[in-house]
Structure 1
Amino acid sequence: MKLQFKVQPYQTAAVDSVVNVFDGQPYADGVRYRVDPGKSAAPALLDDAGFRNAELTLTSSQILTNLHNIQQSRGLPLSKELKDPVKVSAASLNLDIEMETGTGKTYVYIKTIMELHKRYGWSKYIVVVPSIAIREGVKKSFDITADHFQQHYGTKPRTFVYNSSRLHELERFSSDAGVQVMIINVQAFNATGKDARRIYEVLDDFQSRKPIDVIAANRPILIIDEPQKIEGDVKKPSKSLAALGQFNALFAIRYSATHKIPRTKVHRLDAVDAYNQKLVKKIAVRGITVKQLAGSSAYLYVDGLEIGKGADFPKARVELEVQTAQGIRRQVKRLSQGMNLHDISGGIEAYKGLFIRDVDANRDIIELSNGDILGAGEVTQDVTDDTKRRIQIREVIRAHLDKERELFTQGIKTLSLFFIDEVAKYRDYDREDTLGDYARMFEEEYEAVLADTLAQLDLDEAAERYRKHVEAIPVRATHEGYFSIDKKTGRSVDGKIAARGDFAGMSDDVDAYDLILKDKERLLSFEEPVRFIWSHSALREGWDNPNVFVMGMLKKSDNTTTRRQEIGRGLRLSVDQHGERMDNPVTVHDINELTVVTDESYTDFVTALQKEIVESLSARPRKASVDYFVGKHITIEDGSTSVLEQVVAQALYDHLIRHDYIDDDGHVTEAYKEARAEGVLASPTSEVLLPVVDFVWPLVDALYLDMPKPVDGRKPKKIPLNEANFYRREFQELWGRINHKAVYQVKFDSEELITNCVQVLDKSLNVTVMQYVVESGKQVVELEVEQLETGTGFKVSETKIEQSAVSAGSTVKYDLLGEIAEKTQLTRRTCAAILTGINPATFAKFKQNPEQFITEASRLINEQKATVIVEHLAYDSLEDRFDSAIFTENQTAQDLSKAGDKLKKSVYEYVVTDSKIERAFVSELDTSQEVAVYAKLPRGFFIPTPVGDYNPDWAIAFTEGTVKHVYFVAETKGSLSTLQLKGVEDAKIECARKFFASLNAKNGDDVKYDVVTDYSELMQLVTA
């Protein structure tokens, strides 16, 4: 697979910001000069000529004029002069480009190099980076973009990494024409090691020359990547910054998301802009919170909540301690309302008296019988670090598989990244399999979570392809660590991390990056089994992979690494198997979401992250003033630009004051934000402002921060509403007819229920006999040690199936009446009447398999109860109605892997379907000329029934004149046979028929409700 690159307008804008600073500089394809041949050079070398960059011919005032034009057009503060705020500098002119991590700054500065060469002929460049990691990443970027730039410019940069033992490359850098780029890490010219000092020394193996002198003679242009890691700060500039001055640069261009020493800023694309323009991934967070239980030491961890159809939903995935044959183990169980934790645990005392009082999928919480409430991601009691890490690993795997199911059919590979602070936690060479504690936890949790995930898959073609794909990958092959390598042992080791000085926290190991950087494309391919990457937390900068969708921070928190640095490795937009970037503005944030799994609470992590983002925006204008507006460029209706003059800026400022759109300090008020959002901003009376007023509001918008708040990764994913369809007259009229709340009355005869139950139990109760297999075997005749070790020392000679019988009088473990009464919500007296009325032969089935007898008898009784109740049911509609907000606020967990393409006629932009039948149904609804608008009804809309709330599937409004019944509410089912629609489900449908019939009778409406198998049957019903 080969990564594809395309011209992005936002990147071109960053390139133009630099190139236009030198508008008016004449083109010169390099100044020929005689390269210093050195004292020991052969005579033939004395004629060798090189090509250095031509000097700037523009005056300081000309450059400042160009700068002001650029800064005004980009809403940046105007530079008063070109001087730096510090005494030492990399060059006489320093230009700052601010670009958020993940937006492609390396691509931008490579393109800037190509444009500067094309416009002005400058050809000698040095890219300065703060670490080996970034150096390797930059070199990789130059390599993979070479063909792309060759196509656009007819040439490509020739690059090499500076190495003091390969100084012949400096000769070529100096003498060759064309674009020449040297990449150098700061340790190579400002460290205490012998190799670093060589750049300043007269070297015998370099014809008695100093490498720095040969470099400086070229008047190179410096590209400084991540300058904040190199230069120190205003009060204490680093030695590295002073050393850069010896490169004799023509000028320097500095690229970073967080500049520490502010210089001449010519472009800004900060965190807020990048998110709002959908240039980086959206962030989701899964945090872990420790919470005490009232008067209990029970261990519980709420893994998440699930929804589905059925009386036992919603369910909560809860980890608790369970008594097993191997002792007490922690297991994840799916728990519903009413379940007894003491029973689930196998009788562990700590859970005595605890049961699930409520499972609320809308609030993502469970409530216990003692009144405690636990939310998803909360764990009880003081837990060890190992327990937290195991939970984090499980959460990463679950988040990974959820995302992978969604993206697999779209040809997008999902990668997850673990950051750890000690290699031994992943790779332990004292163990035979070399797995560290975290790797063992991963493999155990991966097997369990994968099995659970596959068990929940639909039985359709796409799900089957995904199943085959993941089942074909051995667990040992799907995770890999990228660490430094000890050259003596060949083993992974903790990298060499500088503890102090200019390079504190940085690693200078090359080996750790080979696979993760040089084979980036291979990692993106489905053919490569590695999906989970483990890396040292110190190796954090310098590389990223566009398809990292989940990150697990399995490390102690520290003050040297910010949350923005950590998540920066996964912010880049993803690519598919063709290398195409997934940046469609409609779906970009549906696909591109980075989930961060941390051992902090969601609130703590998000608060700290947003604080870091706000601090990074300190230079962004926040107050309205006349000076702020003067000179700003605006784009008017015909696409041309206009510059705001003093009189217009004053009129705009006065207008904002007059309508309380800004406060006394110049800050934008809530009144402005609300009026702007609702499109009701006051019209100005000023004649100079009126012609441009519609085009100046973005200047005001830029003054307040619409902070991108990370979403809770455990909360449901919202499917966006198509407001145009939702507010269509046809749908609003349909919604107005059906959104009544209602109550029901029911009266029935218990004797009738008892008689029906007795008859159906005698006829339909089937219970299988409990069986077990008896195997007989003998020890092999000649036993070897290997057979003992492998368990093959005995050989089975005979197997026999036996049947187990339980005495009917043995009711110690089974409270037969109590359990059936609990499952059917009938009195013990009614249950006793049913059981004493059945045939003795039917009751005798209890001893064959007590568990199945209770389960099946309860199911059949519930079905009969539902049938009897429905026959005696009556509805009364109320004046109270369902709020339209349920279409957006009451969405619960959505599996977006089951969402198809964007829809044209639905009130939602996508529909998550439960089956092939529904998918086909949606496709025909969306393309039908007869259908005006339709909705899959949200779960917040329900009809109350005695056997549980019922949520119909579809509300459909047809185009008037095309059908007889314009308004239709439908339930889609694969078959209408009584074998497939029976019992509770059938009862709910019959209740719905009575509900809509009562609405039509009371309000004089004609809303038709029915069950259909497909679109053709629907059309038969609405046209009849």
Structure 2
Amino acid sequence: MQLQFEQLDYQKEAIGAVADLFVGEPNHAHQFEWGNAGAFVVSANRLHLPQHEIGKNLNAVQRRFRQPETEIGQYGMNFSVEMETGTGKTYVYLHTIFELNRRYGWQKFVIVVPSVAIREGVVQSIRATREHFANRFDKPVVNANVYDSKRLHILRGFAQNRNIEILVMNIDAFKKDGNVINRVNESGEAPIKQISDTRPIVMVDEPQNMETELAKQAIEALNPLFVLRYSATHKQPYHKLYSLNPIEAYNKKLVKQIVVQSVLAKNDVNGAYVALKEIVYGKNKKPSAKVEIHYRDKKAVVKKTVTAKEGNDLFDKSNGNESYRHGFIVNGMDAENGRISFSGGTVLTIGENDDAVRDAVMKKQMEATIREHLHKEKRLNPKGIKVLSLFFIDKVANYRNGGKFARWFAEIYQRETGESADGVHDGYFSQDKDTNGNSKADEDTYDLIMRDKEKLLSFDSPLRFIFSHSALKEGWDNPNVFQICTFNETRSPIKKRQEIGRGLRLAVNQQGKRVRDESVNVLTVIPNESYEMFAANLQKEYEDECGIRFGNNYLKNHRQRVYQTFRQGFTLDPVFVAIWQKLQHKTRYRVDFAREDLIREAAKLLDRMPAVQKVQTASRTAKLYQSQTDGIWGEQIHSQSEDMDIEHDIPDVLQHIQQKTNLTRQTLFEILMQSGRIGEIPNNPQLFVDLAAEKILLALHGLMVEGIEYVKLPESGYEQSLADWREREANGAEFFLNQHTFEVSNAEKTIVNNYIDLNSDTEKNFARDCENHEDVVLYFKLPNWFKIPTPVGNYNPDWALVMKNSEKVYFVAETKNTGRGIQDGVDTDKLREAERQKIVCAEKHFAKLDGIAYCVVAKLEDLR
């Protein structure tokens, strides 16, 4: 197969942006100069145009393509072009070489790359486009070579020849003094001088990877006529000439659209799960580890990331989760190798965990990838389009020599197709070792990948599923990668942009022609995270790496921060003093209920609770949308859950429920026996514990609230509470404006001068009515430290009001909106049970205070 190339409008613009920098420069095609490199003739590039004229051209180009204008002296002869991955960046700068030669006669070009992978991608592109450019530019003579320290003779030809000379160089080959090219030889000169004498035009591919001082000095040592930098993610833009950012490319359909199919565990909170996320050094240079564990929250066990140091016990870090009681004291950390060890003998490295469910989830990811692949083959093969899928893994051992990934693949593929998986999948690894992308082993790997690019696209090759490690990032892609599945658990080796970049390019058919059908160009990503998290991480990378500022996110992060200021002297206002003296009184409560009633009511609630679900794999598919104003988000188009067949170790269920309820084991035993639900414990022990404890507490709280009695305490905390008010009066309070914030117009009716921080339209309407109502003398939002004790947690009412009638009337109001019912007011039966119970307690509390009426209302007129 021979890939076909076409020049698109945006590519013409990017090429023209560079070429037009030098409008006014003569053509040097028939000029050359003598050099002193070993007494042979050097044909060198020349530039006659004054720098200030180039500066004028620069600003004209920047205005044309809506880029920030920069002074030529700011970055000198360094220029940048920004193009999203998959839009033909390499094609553009190769085409630019021919255009600069045609217009200005320049002949010497050096392409500098940061890695073997990118170097091989460039070489493959030069080979693939040779015939295309020959036809477009009247067959010029082109010599393209890769620099090799063992083949220094090619430098002589590069310097002497008067053709288009392209030299591809890895930055590591010439950035150190000890490199062969920088060593002085018997001629008395270093080989690099044969390049620098030609004043080459230097094109830097992925320059963000070459921003160290050493790399910058190495590029400068080439003595470039000027430097062109091409990337999708510039760290430093250097006179940006043209930009095609990822949002523009995505929305203009210049790359594949993205669908995310996440496969995650659901209801998985059993056992002593530990996942090592990272090891960091603190100010005292002692390491600490961020580990994800099963944390015992108030209501349920949840996954949570905590920080642990040597000697810490995960039992304490998990808030007393019994699963960690033995064997989980941190014994040591190895930051260099990313490893943590525990007293029970468990040793984990970054990206690993001891979660029994992990393999089941990854197997479901593989199954989802294979099924999606086969589905697309049925649709695209008749159109002459071969479908490829790419799996990212961390450990080669999990694939090679009968590793679990290879076994799973063979099993799933045979089950789905009825055929053997032999020949349809392979792994691109170097000598079956994990690599980091910089070794000689990597060079062998990437040579194979790049040279077989067209073969992979052909139906003649049976290979359709590719396994690789995370080192495969910039430098390799294939237009017919339609599925990317990520098994690796770590977040650092491969970013979202690198991940999707391997499959963003538009597909090609068997004739090598680009296919622009939108229904064809869809990349399905099967990540190891939710589609919401995938979208959020991708958006953050766009912000951090491309400087894209999203509208909503900008507002969220930069919304107006304001200070709430208080009316001076309000604490001395007689109206405020009168109501506060009533409100500040404390109470305590006592409850009375029968044990038999608790057992009966709790067992009844357990009997009615939903069936305890097994641990499941939850697959959710969402189409990704991208917008400059709204950011990146997914809209779910499909979901499916399946039970996992996993046997769990059964914990001491009574002990776990006892920790949550503080009831005796005997009482709990009788509740569980009467409920008839004990048989569901093996389905999901921890979920059973959490659900059962929730229902038992609901019954307990209901009986406590029903039998609660408040007693007014004799002591008064009036002066202390007044001191808290005075602190607010003096210092104000900081908060963020939102759509519910109420702006005060009449400060005499309340205690603040400017804003009341609110969270709903119901509260905002209530405040507006209070300000406007002639009978309201004073109203104010009760502070969050004003709390009433209840069996279901402390309760913080909303409002305090003073209204005039024949005499002043004092109210505490709770604003709720349950929707319009048969009659006006709030239907408390529609509130959450905990809310309703707190309201019942509040009624009994305020009944003990003199002259205070407590009401639950939807609006001011509901006050009675």
Q: In which range does the TM-score fall when normalised by the shorter chain?
A: 0.5 to 0.7
Cα pair 2:176 2:214 within 8 Å, conserved:
no
Q: Rate the CA distance shift 1:664–1:443 in 2: closer, same or farther, 3 A.
A: closer
Alignment equivalent of 1:440, drawn from 407, 410, 413: 407
Structure 1: 5+ residue runs without aligned partners? Answer: 39-45, 85-91, 232-236, 297-380, 429-434, 452-470, 486-491, 499-505, 624-662, 666-701, 717-1024
What is the letter of the counterpart of residue 69 of structure 1?
Answer: A
Q: Specify whether residues 715 and 16 from structure 1 end up closer, same or farther in structure 2 by C-alpha distance, changes over 3 A only.
A: farther
Partner of 2:61: 70
Secondary structure in structure 2 of the residue aligned to 1:160: strand
Q: Which residue number in structure 2 is paired with residue 199 of structure 1?
A: 181
- Unaligned ranges ≥5, structure 2: 272-353, 553-557, 561-625, 641-864
- Partner Cα distance (1:444, 1:267) in 2: 49
Aligned: 1:179 with 2:175: no
CA distance in 1, matches of 2:489, 2:163: 48
- State the partner residue of 2:319: none
1:945 match: none
- Any idea what the Cα deviations from partners look like across 1:647-671, whole Å, max 9, x if unmatched? xxxxxxxxxxxxxxxx999xxxxxx
CA distance in 1, matches of 2:106, 2:634: 43
Residue of structure 2 equivalent to 1:267: 242
Relative to structure 1, the CA distance from residue 53 to residue 508 in structure 2 (aligned partners, 3 Å threshold; closer, same or farther) is farther
Which AA in structure 1 matches 2:357? T
For residues 72-102 of structure 1, the C-alpha deviation after alignment (integer angstroms, 9 at most, x for no partner) is 1211111134323xxxxxxx41111000001
Q: Please give the alpha-carbon distance, in whole angstroms, between the structure 1 residues aligned to 2:382 and 2:118.
A: 33
**Identity %, equivalent residues:** 41
Q: Contact 1:18 / 1:266 at 8 angstroms: preserved in 2?
A: yes
Residue 422 of structure 1 corresponds to 395
Q: Determine the C-alpha separation between the residues in 2 that align with 1:222 and 1:619.
A: 28
* Equivalent residue, structure 2, for 1:243: 218
Of 509, 512, 531, which residue of structure 2 is paired with 1:602?
A: 531
Structure-to-structure mapping, 1:415-814, within 5 angstroms:
415-428=388-401, 435-451=402-418, 474-485=420-431, 492-495=432-435, 497=437, 509-583=442-516, 587-588=517-518, 590-618=519-547, 704-705=628-629, 707=631, 709=633, 712=636, 714=638
Paired residue for 2:233, among 234, 246, 258? 258
The CA deviation at 1:250 is 0.5
Kindly provide the CA deviation profile for residues 104-159 of structure 1, in whole angstroms up to 9, marking residues without a partner as x. 10000000000000000111000000001100110000000000000000235321
Partners of 1:538 and 1:295 lie apart in 2 by: 34
**Aligned pair partner of 2:115 in 127, 131, 144:** 131
For residue 759 of structure 1, what is the aligned residue in structure 2?
Answer: none
Cα deviation for residue 704 of structure 1 reads: 4.5
Counterpart selection for 1:100 from 69, 84, 89: 84
Q: Distance in 2 between matches of 1:567 and 1:534?
A: 15
2:219 aligned partner, one-letter code: L
Following the alignment from structure 1 to structure 2, what is the Cα–Cα distance between the partners of residues 507 and 569?
22
**What is the aligned partner in structure 2 of residue 407 from structure 1?**
380
2:115–2:437 Cα contact (<8 Å) kept: no
Cα distance, 1:710–1:412 mapped onto 2, change above 3 Å: farther
**Residues 133 and 508 in structure 1, CA contact (< 8 A), matched pair in contact too:** no
Which residue number corresponds to residue 113 of structure 1? 97
Task: Give 3-state SS (helix, strand or coil) of 1:287's partner.
Answer: strand
2:367 matched residue in structure 1? 394
Secondary structure in 2 matching 1:576: coil
With normalisation by structure 1, the TM-score equals 0.46
AA aligned to 2:232 is A
147, 168, 174: which one aligns with 1:162: 147
* Partner Cα distance (1:569, 1:293) in 2: 32
Instruction: Quote the offset at 1:57 in angstroms.
Output: 1.9
Following TM superposition, by how much is the alpha carbon of 1:69 offset from its aligned partner in structure 2, in angstroms?
Answer: 1.6
Whether the aligned pair in 2 keeps the contact of 1:496 and 1:507 (CA below 8 Å) is: no
Query: Is structure 2 residue 257 aligned with structure 1 residue 288?
Result: no
Give CA deviations for 1:974-1003 in whole Å, capped at 9, x if unaligned: xxxxxxxxxxxxxxxxxxxxxxxxxxxxxx
Question: What is the TM-score of this pair, normalised by structure 2?
Answer: 0.54
For the 8 Å contact 2:260–2:524, the answer to whether it is kept is yes
Cα-to-partner distance string for 1:298-327 (whole Å, 9 max, x where unaligned):
xxxxxxxxxxxxxxxxxxxxxxxxxxxxxx
Which residue is equivalent to 1:14?
14
| 2-structure distance, mates of 1:608, 1:512 | 29
> 2-side partners of 1:447 and 1:515: how far apart?
27
Q: Who is 1:52 aligned against? A: 44
Deviations 1:779-809 (A, max 9, x none): xxxxxxxxxxxxxxxxxxxxxxxxxxxxxxx
8 Å Cα contact 1:281-1:593 kept in structure 2:
yes
Letter of the 1:413 partner, please give it: K
Against the structure 1 CA distance between its residues 153 and 79, is the aligned structure 2 distance closer, same or farther, given a 3 Å change threshold?
Answer: same
**Superposition deviation, residue 190 in structure 1:** 2.3
Cα distance change on mapping 1:571 and 1:704 into 2, 3 Å: closer
Q: Is the 8 A contact 1:30 1:123 kept in 2?
A: no
Structure 1 counterpart SS, 2:95 = helix
CA contact 2:111–2:167 (8 Å) conserved in 1: yes
SS in 2 for 1:25: coil
Go from structure 1 to structure 2 and tell me whether the alpha carbon gap of 1:400 and 1:150 turns closer, same or farther (over 3 Å shift).
Answer: same
Alignment of 1:927-938 (within 5 A): none
* Alignment RMSD: 2.8
Q: Is the 1:285–1:711 contact (alpha carbons within 8 Å) kept by the matching residues of 2?
A: no
Instruction: Label 1:497 to 1:580 Cα distance change in 2 as closer, same or farther (>3 A).
Output: closer
Question: How far apart, in 2, do the equivalents of 1:167 and 1:295 lie?
Answer: 63
The match for 1:220 among 197, 200, 212 is: 200
Deviations 1:429-462 (A, max 9, x none): xxxxxx22211111111111224xxxxxxxxxxx
Determine if contact 1:550/1:595 at 8 Å carries over to the other structure. Answer: yes
Q: Take 1:72 and 1:620, find their aligned partners in 2: how far apart are those partners? A: 20
CA contact (8 A) 1:285 1:712 kept: no
Contact 2:489 2:528 in 1 (8 A): no
1:713, CA displacement in angstroms?
7.3
Cα 1:704–1:517 change in 2 (3 A) is closer
Q: Distance in 1 between matches of 2:634 and 2:476?
A: 23
CA distance in 2, matches of 1:154, 1:295: 70
Quote how far apart the aligned CAs of 1:561 are: 2.6
What amino acid does structure 2 have at the position aligned with 1:201? R
Tell me: CA distance 1:293–1:538, structure 2 relative to 1, closer, same or farther (3 Å): closer
Q: Are residues 242 and 30 of structure 1, via their aligned partners in 2, closer, same or farther at CA, if it must alter by over 3 Å?
A: farther
Contact kept? 1:258, 1:616, Cα under 8 Å = yes
Q: Distance in 1 between matches of 2:175 and 2:515?
A: 40
Q: Which amino acid aligns with 2:89?
A: K
The verdict on how the C-alpha distance between 1:711 and 1:151 changes in structure 2, with shifts beyond 3 A counting, is: farther
| Structure 1 residues 713 and 239: CA distance shift in structure 2, 3 A | farther
How far 1:213 moved relative to its partner? 1.0
Are residues 106 and 70 of structure 1, via their aligned partners in 2, closer, same or farther at CA, if it must alter by over 3 Å? same
Matches within 5 A, 1:77-96: 77-84=68-75, 92-96=76-80
Cα distance in 2, alignment partners of residues 189 and 292 from structure 1:
55
Aligned equivalents of 1:215, 1:519: Cα separation in 2: 31
What secondary structure is seen at the aligned counterpart in 2 of 1:288? strand
* 2: CA distance, partners of 1:703 / 1:517: 34
Aligned-pair CA distance for 1:616 = 3.6
Structure 1 SS opposite 2:230: strand
